[in-house]
Amino acid sequence: MAGKMVTFPINGRDGSGYLATPPLGSGPGLLVIQEWWGLVDHIKDLVDRFAAQGFVALAPDLYHGTVTKSPDDAGKLLMALNIAEAGNDMRGAAKYLLSRDDVTSRQVAALGFCMGGQLALFAACAHPDLVGAAVDFYGIHPKVDPDVTQLSGPVLAHFGKSDQSIPAAQVEAMVAKAHAAGKTFNVHWYDAGHAFFNDTRPTAYNKVAAEAAWTRTLVFLRGVFKTAQ
């Protein structure tokens, strides 16, 4: 069942996003955070896929209606993104999910890809009262430095071994900081490059890595929400 666009309040203004609900009618809440292209059809398709797996999934529109297929324009949108405003958008989206009768969880999980991976982790660190877990697919954003010591729940991360945009040492330092603070932060590395999960980009997509990451993500999320019950 395809989702739909919805609106929700954010600090006195309206935010929007793409929402899909599970076949059984209810489930835990999941934020799906966009790549640097915007709230494109690929992200909406992923929201639908997660809904089909039993989650009430919502992708907030962090670019407020703007989308692009141009890497140059996407880079400009990424750099122009107001991180504080994006944080408010994600918090508003999380509160909206938790206000819904069909959401069964006390907190949401946040999951994202590329820019969205870093922002999903940021949401879990900045809003630990609402976001109790995060899944980071090769997250990167030069303006976002999540304080992993503030996490209230576990993190699962996926990175490509040949991803030149994300130094392994940077990931390892972040994981070490989280572990030193007593947090759960598990990372999987794949024989793939950046954006290996995006099946709309043939030059980046890696079927083996994507399927393994998908399976691990579903196991992780189901475990998180089962433990929280």
| pLDDT computed for residue 12 by the predictor | 84
| pLDDT score recorded for residue 52 | 97
Domains of the chain: 4-228 (3.40.50.1820)
Distance CA 221, CA 203 (A): 28
Task: Tell me if 54 sits within 8 A of 22, measured CB to CB.
Answer: yes
pLDDT of residue 11: 85
User: What's the confidence (pLDDT) of residue 37?
Assistant: 97
What separation in angstroms does the CA of 71 have from each of 42, 92, 169, 218?
A: 16, 28, 26, 30
| Mean pLDDT value across residues 137-149 | 95
SS (H, E, C) the chain: CCCEEEEEEECCEEEEEEEECCCCCCECEEEEECCCCCCCHHHHHHHHHHHHCCCEEEEECCCCCCCCCCHHHHHHHHHHCCHHHHHHHHHHHHHHHHHCCCECCCCEEEEEECHHHHHHHHHHHHCCCCEEEEEEECCCCCCCCCCHHHCCCCEEEEEECCCCCCCHHHHHHHHHHHHHCCCCEEEEEECCCCCCCCCCCCCCCCHHHHHHHHHHHHHHHHHHHHHHC
> What's the whole-number mean pLDDT along residues 170-187?
96
For the chain, what is the mean pLDDT?
Answer: 96
The partner residues of 8 in beta bridges, in order of sequence, read 15
pLDDT digits (tens, 9 = 90+) for 187-229: 999 999 999 999 999 999 999 999 999 999 999 999 999 876 6
How far does Cα 116 stand from its chain's mean position?
A: 5
pLDDT at 134 over 80: yes
Kindly state the percentage of the chain with pLDDT values over 90: 97
Cα 124 to Cα 108: distance, rounded to the nearest angstrom: 9
24 pLDDT above the threshold of 80: yes
Q: 107 near 98, Cβ under 8 Å? A: yes
| Interval 40-61 mean pLDDT | 98
pLDDT in tens, 82-118: 999 999 999 999 999 999 999 999 999 999 999 999 9
pLDDT above 70 for 1: no
- Mean pLDDT over 50-58 rounds to 98
Strands 13-20 and 4-10: antiparallel
Find tokens 């576990």 and name the residue. 154
Instruction: Read off the pLDDT of each residue in 40-55 and give the average, rounded to a whole number.
Output: 97
Q: Which of 58, 55, 24, 2 is nearest to 217 (CA)?
A: 55
Specify the pLDDT at position 146: 95
Exposed, middle or buried by CB within 10 Å (0-12, 13-18, 19+), for 8?
buried
Section 64-72 average pLDDT: 96
Q: Kindly report whether the global pTM for this prediction surpasses the value 0.85.
A: yes
Rounded distance, CA 78 to CA 97, Å? 25
pLDDT at position 227: 78
Residues whose CB falls within 8 Å of the CB of residue 80, separated by 6 or more in sequence, listed in order = none
Whole-number pLDDT of residue 229: 63
In the prediction, which pLDDT does 2 show? 79
